[in-house]
Structures are given as C-alpha cells and as structure tokens.
Amino acid sequence: MKTVRFGIIGCGLMGREFASAAARWCHLLEMDVRPEVVAVCGRTTNPFAWYRDNFPSIKQFTVDYKTLLANPEVEAVYVALPHHLHREVYCAVIEAGKHLLGEKPFGIDQRACDDIVACARRRPKVFVRCSSQSPFFPAMQRVGGMIERKAFGQVIELNTGFLHSSDLDPNKPINWKRTTECNGEYGVMGDLGLHACHLAFRAGWVPRNVRAILSHIIKERPDGKGNLVPSQTWDNATLLCEAADPDHDALFPWTLRTHRIAPGQKNNWYAEICGTKASARWTSVKADILEVMDYNGGEQIWGEIQTGHETAFKSITGGIFQFGFSDAILQMWAAFLYELAHGAPLKKFAGCATPGEVVLSHHLFTAALESQRSRSVVSL
C-alpha cells in the first residue's frame, strides 16, 4: 500500500471532514494507496486540539501555511480556506511542488482561477484537482453510467441545483460567505455552483449562453456583537442556459439553481435529465432513490431504484445500506488518491473536478454576473 503524506491548510468544517475520511481509510477495500495526515495549518491554534487528540500521525501544527509547505514530509495538501485566499495559497502549494486538492470555487473570481490554472500548467508533475463530491452518490454514479452508455438519447432538458434554507432565518449571524471581501461577487454561485455543474461538465454538456437572475434577499444580518451589518453577497442564483449536446449537434435548456434561501431545503442536491430514450431524476433529500424512465415507444412509466451502497470505490458497507454526505467525501478522497497514483480516474464519473472543469464553471458564473447586470442573455 502506497502512502501519500498530506498537510491540511484550513482546519474548519471541511478540514475536519477530510481528516476524518483519512482516519477511516480501512472502510475502503481494494485501495492500493492511502493518505496520512502529517501536518495541519490553521489561522489560530484553537482547532489543533481536535487534530492532536485524534491523529498521532500529525507532527506539525502551524499557523503559517508557508511553514507547512516548507515541510519536506508533506507530499500533498488539502486546502479548505475562504475564497479570497485560494489564489495565493493554491499557487504556493503548486509552486512548492506539492499535489493539491483545493476547494471550490478554486479562486474568488475568473482571474484568480486562471492564475491558479496557469500555475498548474507550469508544474505538470503536480496533480491538481478541485473537490466535488456529489457525483459520488450511488444514484449519480448510475446516472454517470447511463451517460457513458448514451442511454438518454438526445438530451431534451437538464435541471440541476443545490439548495439550502438556513439563510431564510434573518437572525442567522453573518459569516465570511456573506462578505464580498471573502466570497467575491459570485456569492452563492461561488459557494454552491460547482456542485450543480460537475456532472454536466463531465458529460461534455457545455453552456453556450446564460440568462441569470440573482437575488439579494436579506440585506443585513447580526454580527454576533449586537449590531446589524450588511450581508453583501447574492443569496440565490437562478440560471437558464442553452447547452450543447455534442452527440446530437443540438442545443437544450439547462436550468441551474443555487439558492441559499430555498425554504425548507436543508441541503438538497438535485439533478434531472430528460432525454428522448430515457430520463432520470435524483435529489439528495431521498438520496437512496433514483427515478428512471426508459422509453422505447411504449408506455411512459417512471420507476424507482433504491441504490443502496453501490459505490465507485468498494467499501466494507453492505450493498443494501444507505449512503450519506461523509461517504461521498470518503469516495471523493479515494478518487483523488486513485487518480494521483494511477494517472487516470477509475472511471469517467469517478474523478474530482479537473482544472478545465473549474475554469468552465468560472466562465459560467462570470457570464451570469454580466447577465444580471445587463438583464440580458450573455454568450460564453
């Protein structure tokens, strides 16, 4: 078993998710590569206690990411930082010759993303990917298989999205995701957008143009110190694109919704693909159920498949058992390490987002901002 020694920069929500996935690597079967977390970097020392208590492998704790990058033990780095820090830190990781799994949106804006990707091009031996775990849900794996088999026929319509509801509460305190300084102009698209694009981009379905309606619904939030402060970023983004189906030389409508104020939707990833030969729909609210309709000229009947634990990377969990968020994170990490070790993903829909895919997402979000400004359709 090959070991890849990791550093983590950013010890918040996602830093802990990755560390926890690394700690339960024994959950996976047939992997010939595993991560070992050897170093962590946070802005303060507060989060270190959890890492220290749970990871005897971690020998370096630092508040300076450059110190972590100077550590020759560290071969690869997972970075989970606010978006305004992506360009500086991702470029530094790549330039230090360490493999990088960065978080989305991979740069606060198009320019930052282009700079990161240019850095990666200058260092072709460094493996660079962006985190995106939704394709690893078993139902999405099945949809990926259907796309590979060209089971949908000509795509008629695509609807994808990622919906959250907690910002409906006007008393929810502000955090960095609601400031343009840290989350940029994209707002909710930077936060949630890649999750709603990755499957389509991997399928080769590329938006040609977009009309976006962006909503700024709650304009002030408590700062936790008794004041109301501006909540600056877009809460909801509704995009209507014309996308190309390369197999049929045809265009189809793609609606893409990323909402932080979607009443009642705690954490809903969804995808619906309507095709001339088959259609499929899935929502993470009922993660175990994939609805499919095959059409061969007879009755049009939607069926329901309970997908259980059918994962891209085999695990010890019995095939009948349900799959959840942390399982998707573990699968995504398996995909990163598998592709790093083998030079290619296990299969087409079992890979993290590539630099090309994140660039495409930035083109889309940048065009969406322009569409909102001009109240018009913007070509990509």
Residues lying near ligand NAD in the complex (CB under 6 A): 9-14, 41-43, 47, 65, 80-83, 85, 103-104, 131, 133, 191
DSSP 25-87: GGGBSS-SEEEEEEEEE-SSSTTHHHHHHH-TT--EEES-HHHHHT-TT--EEEE---GGGHH
With beta carbons less than 8 A apart as the criterion, state whether 136 and 312 touch. Answer: yes
255 phi/psi in degrees, rounded to 5? -100, 140
Nearer to ligand NAD, 99 or 211 (CB): 99
Distance in Å from the first CA to the final CA of the chain? 44
Nearer to ligand NAD, 119 or 194 (CB): 194
From the centroid of its chain, how far is CA 54? 26
Quote the least distance from Cβ 90 to ligand NAD, whole Å.
10
Nearest to 312 by CA among 292, 273, 288, 338: 338
Q: Which residue of the chain is nearest ligand NAD when measured via CB?
A: 12
DSSP 80-128: ---GGGHHHHHHHHHHTT-EEEEPTTSSSSHHHHHHHHHHHHH-TTS-E
Quote the least distance from Cβ 229 to ligand NAD, whole Å.
17
* Contacts of residue 191, Cβ cutoff 8 Å, sequence gap at least 6: 105, 177, 183, 258, 260
Pull the structure tokens for residue 347.
């299969």
Which residue pairs from 240-244 have beta carbons closer than 8 angstroms and sit at least 24 positions apart in sequence? 240/210, 240/211, 240/212, 241/207, 241/208, 241/209, 241/210, 241/211, 241/364, 242/207, 242/208, 242/209, 243/155, 243/158, 243/200, 243/205, 243/206, 243/207, 243/208, 244/205, 244/206, 244/208
Nearer to ligand NAD, 99 or 198 (CB): 198
Nearer to ligand NAD, 128 or 244 (CB): 128
